[in-house]
């Protein structure tokens, strides 16, 4: 193997474990908190949030709904439900600010499963992968809506592993363990980042608001890049990095504009050269960590 | 895979297109392949959703649920109705649950029946109106219809005084009434058998839950299984007459069929009257006497 060190190791060695894992830990905390909030009711009797990610009610006043479900519902011929539409608009506005696929990296429970599969893939040195287009998910998205239209029901929700897993964790697991194991094995043995980055129509749907989303990762410190390739190794959507990090035209924006970027910020974590940082979609901010001290110091 | 070699550049007018063609062809072929794959998956999912675990007859939807086909286009399976059900009646179908499509709410009357809350918490909780908010009076709910499915085990039909279903019914005396019948087995007793009326039964399932036999003799079934239908064109003459004040088809006239000879039936409260001259004296209550007189006068 060409690689001497696993991705992120150098960062951890030079700067410590926390800076090399902080966004990863924050994401896991966020995912666990979302699930925990929903579980507080059934487990402890504290009803802060009711429902599940499909539709929920927080503190008895804030309705939130999954816009993807409502679009399916619309395709299936059901248009009413004011509460649900208000909730969906709130969710959509949030993702327009934070980046559409923030859902994938920071909320979705499947993310931890597929991240683990990708990590184990690297550890075990599994390089074989089935090859299919990353645009498959958009075709699947279209297919799920077409099926809703044809069957007049939310057909995809019979099999949607994302909603099944979250609902099962909150309302009773049933056979949903099988779904989790299946996705894990698929990502581990069949295709690298197969589910989240190639197939999932839900991720495809949430990438759509990502085309306009305000919060974006940028490669503002790209002149410091020393080609260690760690960011490409950990990124679930590595194709989004190049246009910002290695543009053909050097004056091109350093902002990662691709809607497929999940804002997971793992690249910020692993980069020992502090190339990446969060910023707005319009301005590439310079990363503001303590790197300059380090660089200046002898 | 073999791609046709591009023609040498510069030959005829193809020069501009030829070098790009194989790449474009590959791209189009790959895209078509992806699209076909997605379409196949979509078709599989569509077929699966149509055949997988339809609502079982013993699984009842919450009050106000739209008709099943519409319900499946509206319910996002969020479980808010389940959370707001104070009696833990409702549950979401877990993955693999044969009773209902995965993630949709239902209840099993024999286990926990609907307590018919007022206000109707589950309906108020539904964000997508899969439970119709127009339902505000729980007595108007039609979750199913109770049916005495087994007269061979229902104790009332054996002549025993059970009447538990009648007594637990929340719409007592309207949804289930007790009908007195002659007990043909003993020949000298009465039966009080439960009769369900679809005009009042909400399908809450308290009767099925309370039925004392090991397997309930009265069960709540989906309306589609429990109800017959007359047909749009069919009218009961009895009802139409009552509505119109008179018969719509033919004027009421004396009918002369199947009566003893020499006797007529008078519609205007007269009842059985001897044919011929008016009665010379009032008749008593003894019908046999009346008949005999009629026969006498008829014979002449």
The domain in which residue A275 lies consists of 214-296
Q: Is the pLDDT of residue B278 over 80?
A: no
Distance from CA of B67 to the nearest CA of A (A): 12
Q: Is the pLDDT of residue B108 over 70?
A: yes
Is the bond preceding residue B15 a cis peptide, omega within 30 degrees? Answer: no
Query: What's the pTM?
Result: 0.79
Mark yes or no for CB contact A51/B80 under 8 Å: yes
A77 and A224, same domain (yes or no) = no
Q: How many domains does chain A have?
A: 2
Contacts of B100 (CB under 8 A, 6+ apart): B53, B55, B56, B59, B93, B106
Q: Is the pLDDT of residue A224 over 70?
A: yes
Q: Establish if B295 belongs to a structural domain.
A: no
A34 and A179, same domain (yes or no) = yes
Smallest Cβ–Cβ distance between B95 and the set A69, A87, A176 belongs to A176
Which residue in this structure is represented by tokens 């749907």?
A205
d(CA B291, CA A151): 70
Q: Is the pLDDT of residue B292 over 80?
A: no
Domain final position from A180, A209, A238: A209
Domain final position from B116, B141, B166: B141
Domain final position from B160, B191, B226: B226
Which range is least confidently modeled, A97-111, B17-31, B96-110, B187-201?
Answer: B17-31
Smallest Cβ–Cβ distance between B34 and the set A139, A153, A164 belongs to A139
Tell whether A41 lies on the interface with B, counting CB pairs under 8 A: yes
Q: Establish if B201 belongs to a structural domain.
A: yes
ipTM of the complex: 0.85
Domain final position from B205, B226, B247: B226
DSSP state letters, B75-121: -----HHHHH-TTS--EEPPTT-TTSSTT-EEEETTTS-----SS-H
A148 and A126, same domain (yes or no) = yes
Q: Establish if B131 belongs to a structural domain.
A: yes
B105 → chain A, closest CA residue: A171
Tell whether A144 lies on the interface with B, counting CB pairs under 8 A: yes
Mean pLDDT computed over A54-64: 90
Which H or E run includes B181?
strand B176-183
The number of CA neighbours under 13 Å toward the Cβ of B132 is 18
pLDDT in tens, B133-183: 999 999 999 999 999 999 999 999 999 999 999 999 999 999 999 999 988
d(CA B240, CA B248): 7
Higher pLDDT, A41 or B267: A41
How high is the mean pLDDT of chain A?
Answer: 88
Chain A residues with CB inside 8 Å of B50's CB?
151, 155
The CATH number of the domain holding residue A231 is: 3.30.70
A235 and A193, same domain (yes or no) = no
Mean pLDDT computed over A5-34: 90
Partner residues linked to B92 by β-bridges = B105
Smallest Cβ–Cβ distance between B73 and the set A76, A159, A174 belongs to A76
* CA nearest neighbour of A11 among A265, A279, A286: A265
Task: Work out the end-to-end distance of chain B between its first and last CA atoms, rounded to an integer number of angstroms.
Answer: 112
A64 and A180, same domain (yes or no) = yes
Q: Please, what's the largest Cα pairwise distance for chain B?
A: 128
Q: How many domains does chain B have?
A: 2
Q: Establish if B208 belongs to a structural domain.
A: yes
What percent of chain A lies above the pLDDT cut of 70?
94
8 A C-beta contact, residue A199 and residue A104: no
Mark yes or no for CB contact B41/A143 under 8 Å: yes
A203 and A129, same domain (yes or no) = yes
8 A C-beta contact, residue A213 and residue A92: no
Chain A residues with CB inside 8 Å of B128's CB?
55, 65, 70, 73, 78, 80-81, 83-84
Chain B residues with CB inside 8 Å of A82's CB?
129
Contacts of A117 (CB under 8 A, 6+ apart): A183, A184, A185, A186, A187, A188
Q: Establish if B99 belongs to a structural domain.
A: yes
B61 and B116, same domain (yes or no) = yes
Smallest Cβ–Cβ distance between B50 and the set A136, A143, A151 belongs to A151
8 A C-beta contact, residue B72 and residue B114: no
Which residue in this structure is represented by tokens 């990090």?
A245
A57 and A166, same domain (yes or no) = yes
Q: Establish if B20 belongs to a structural domain.
A: no
What percent of chain A lies above the pLDDT cut of 90?
52
Mark yes or no for CB contact B94/A144 under 8 Å: no
Chain A residues with CB inside 8 Å of B133's CB?
none
B184 and B196, same domain (yes or no) = yes
Query: What's the token pair of residue B109?
Result: 């009357």
pLDDT in tens, B238-252: 888 888 887 777 666
> What pLDDT was estimated at residue B9?
45
Q: Establish if B246 belongs to a structural domain.
A: no
Domain final position from A209, A235, A250: A209
The CATH number of the domain holding residue B72 is: 3.30.70
B129 and B163, same domain (yes or no) = no
Mean pLDDT computed over A175-191: 91
pLDDT in tens, B50-71: 777 678 899 999 999 999 889 9
Tell whether B129 lies on the interface with A, counting CB pairs under 8 A: yes
Q: Is the pLDDT of residue B14 over 50?
A: no
A285 and A191, same domain (yes or no) = no
Q: Establish if B71 belongs to a structural domain.
A: yes
> What pLDDT was estimated at residue B11?
46
Q: Is the pLDDT of residue A289 over 60?
A: no
Q: Is the pLDDT of residue A288 over 60?
A: no
The domain in which residue B76 lies consists of 52-141
pLDDT in tens, A66-87: 999 999 999 998 887 889 999 9
């Amino acid at each position: 193997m060409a690689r001497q060190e696993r991705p992120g190791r150098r960062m951890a060695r030079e700067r410590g474990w926390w800076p090399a894992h902080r966004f990863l830990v924050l994401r896991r905390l966020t995912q666990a908190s979302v699930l925990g909030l929903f579980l507080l009711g059934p487990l402890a009797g504290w009803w802060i949030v009711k429902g599940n990610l499909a539709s929920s009610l927080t503190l008895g006043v804030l309705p939130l709904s999954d816009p993807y479900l409502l679009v399916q519902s619309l395709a299936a011929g059901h248009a009413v439900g004011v509460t649900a539409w208000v909730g969906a608009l709130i969710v959509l506005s949030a993702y327009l600010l934070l980046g559409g696929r923030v859902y994938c990296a920071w909320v979705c429970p499947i993310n931890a499963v597929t991240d683990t599969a990708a990590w184990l893939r690297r550890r075990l040195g599994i390089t074989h992968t089935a090859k299919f287009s990353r645009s498959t998910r958009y075709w699947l998205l279209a297919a799920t809506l077409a099926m809703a239209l044809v069957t007049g029901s939310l057909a995809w929700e019979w099999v949607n592993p994302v909603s099944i897993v979250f609902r099962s964790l909150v309302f009773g697991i049933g056979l949903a363990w099988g779904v989790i194991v299946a996705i894990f094995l698929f990502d581990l043995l069949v295709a690298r980042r197969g589910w989240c980055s190639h197939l999932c129509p839900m991720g495809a749907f949430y990438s759509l608001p990502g085309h306009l989303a305000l919060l974006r990762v940028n490669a503002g410190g790209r002149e410091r890049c020393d080609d260690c390739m760690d960011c490409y190794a950990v990124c679930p959507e590595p194709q989004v990095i190049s246009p910002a990090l290695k543009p053909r035209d050097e004056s091109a924006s350093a902002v990662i504009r691709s809607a497929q970027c999940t804002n997971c910020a793992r690249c910020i974590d692993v980069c020992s050269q502090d190339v990446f940082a969060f910023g707005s979609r319009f301005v590439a901010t310079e990363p503001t960590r303590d790197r300059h001290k380090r660089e200046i110091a002898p | 895979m073999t791609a046709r070699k591009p023609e040498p550049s510069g030959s005829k007018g193809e020069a501009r297109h030829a070098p790009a063609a194989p790449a474009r062809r590959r791209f189009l072929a790959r895209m078509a392949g992806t699209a076909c794959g997605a379409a196949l998956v979509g078709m599989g999912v569509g077929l699966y959703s149509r055949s997988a675990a339809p609502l079982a007859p013993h699984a009842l939807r919450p009050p106000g649920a739209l008709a099943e086909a519409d319900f499946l286009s509206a319910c996002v399976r969020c479980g808010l109705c389940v959370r707001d059900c104070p009696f833990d009646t409702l549950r979401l179908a877990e993955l693999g649950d044969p009773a209902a499509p995965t993630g949709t709410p239902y209840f099993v009357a024999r286990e926990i029946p609907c307590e018919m809350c007022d206000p109707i918490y589950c309906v108020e909780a539904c964000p997508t109106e899969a439970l119709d908010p127009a339902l505000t009076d729980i007595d108007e709910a039609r979750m199913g219809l109770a049916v005495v499915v087994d007269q061979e085990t229902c104790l009332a039909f054996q002549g025993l005084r059970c009447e538990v279903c009648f007594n637990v019914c929340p719409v007592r005396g309207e949804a289930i009434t007790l009908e007195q019948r002659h007990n043909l087995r003993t020949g000298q007793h009465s039966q009080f058998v439960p009769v369900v009326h679809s005009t009042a039964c909400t399908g809450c399932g308290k009767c099925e839950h309370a039925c004392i036999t090991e397997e309930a003799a009265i069960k709540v079934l989906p309306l589609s299984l429990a109800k017959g239908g007359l047909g749009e064109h069919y009218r009961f003459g009895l009802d139409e007459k009552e509505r119109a004040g008179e018969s719509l088809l033919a004027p009421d006239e004396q009918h002369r069929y199947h009566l003893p000879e020499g006797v007529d039936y008078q519609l205007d409260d007269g009842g059985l009257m001897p044919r011929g001259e008016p009665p010379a004296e009032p008749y008593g209550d003894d019908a046999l006497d009346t008949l005999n007189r009629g026969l006498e006068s008829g014979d002449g």
